[in-house]
Structure 1
Amino acid sequence: MLIREYAEVDWVQVWPIVREVVRAEETFPYDPGMSEEQSRGMWVEAAPGLTVVAVDGNQVLGTAKMGTNRPGPGSHVATASFMVAADVRGQGVGTALCRYALDWARARGYAGMQFNAVVESNTTAVELYRHHGFEVLGTVPGAFAHPTLGRVGLHLMYHAF
Structure 2
Amino acid sequence: MTDLTIRPATPDDHDAIWAILEPILRAGEAFALPRDWDRAQALAYWFAPAHHVHVALDGDRVLGAYYLRANQLGAGDHVANGTYATKAEAQGRGVARAMGLHSFETARGLGFTMMQFNLVVATNTRAVALWTGLGMREVGRLPGVFRHPTHGPVDALVMHRTL
TM-score, with length taken from structure 1: 0.95
Q: Does 1:151 align with 2:153?
A: yes
- Which of 127, 130, 143 aligns to 1:128? It is 130
Deviations 1:41-86 (A, max 9, x none): 1111425x41010011221100000021111111111111100000
Amino acid at match of 1:124: R
Secondary structure, in 3 states, of the residue corresponding to 1:32? coil
Q: Does 1:26 align with 2:29?
A: yes
- Which of 64, 80, 83 aligns to 2:82? It is 80
Q: Which runs of 5+ in 2 are unaligned?
A: none
- Which of 1, 6, 10 aligns to 1:3? It is 6
Aligned mates of 1:36, 1:108 — CA distance in 2: 28
CA RMSD across the alignment: 1.1
Secondary structure, in 3 states, of the residue corresponding to 2:126? helix
- Which of 137, 140, 152 aligns to 2:139? It is 137
Aligned residues: 160
Secondary structure, in 3 states, of the residue corresponding to 1:46? coil
Could you tell me how far 1:107 is from its partner in structure 2? 2.1
Aligned mates of 1:52, 1:160 — CA distance in 2: 21
Deviations 1:9-61 (A, max 9, x none): 111111011111111111111100112111011111425x4101001122110
Contact 1:5–1:51 under 8 Å retained in 2: yes
Aligned mates of 2:71, 2:137 — CA distance in 1: 17
- Which of 44, 49, 71 aligns to 2:47? It is 44
Q: Who is 2:66 aligned against?
A: 64
Q: Which runs of 5+ in 1 are unaligned?
A: none
Displaced runs of 4+ in structure 1, greater than 3 A? Answer: none
| Stretch deviating more after TM superposition (148-157 or 75-84) | 148-157
Aligned mates of 2:32, 2:75 — CA distance in 1: 25
Give the alignment of 1:87-106 within 5 angstroms.
87-106=89-108
Contact 1:64–1:83 under 8 Å retained in 2: yes
Amino acid at match of 1:59: R
Secondary structure, in 3 states, of the residue corresponding to 1:63? strand
Contact 1:143–1:152 under 8 Å retained in 2: yes
Q: Who is 2:17 aligned against?
A: 14
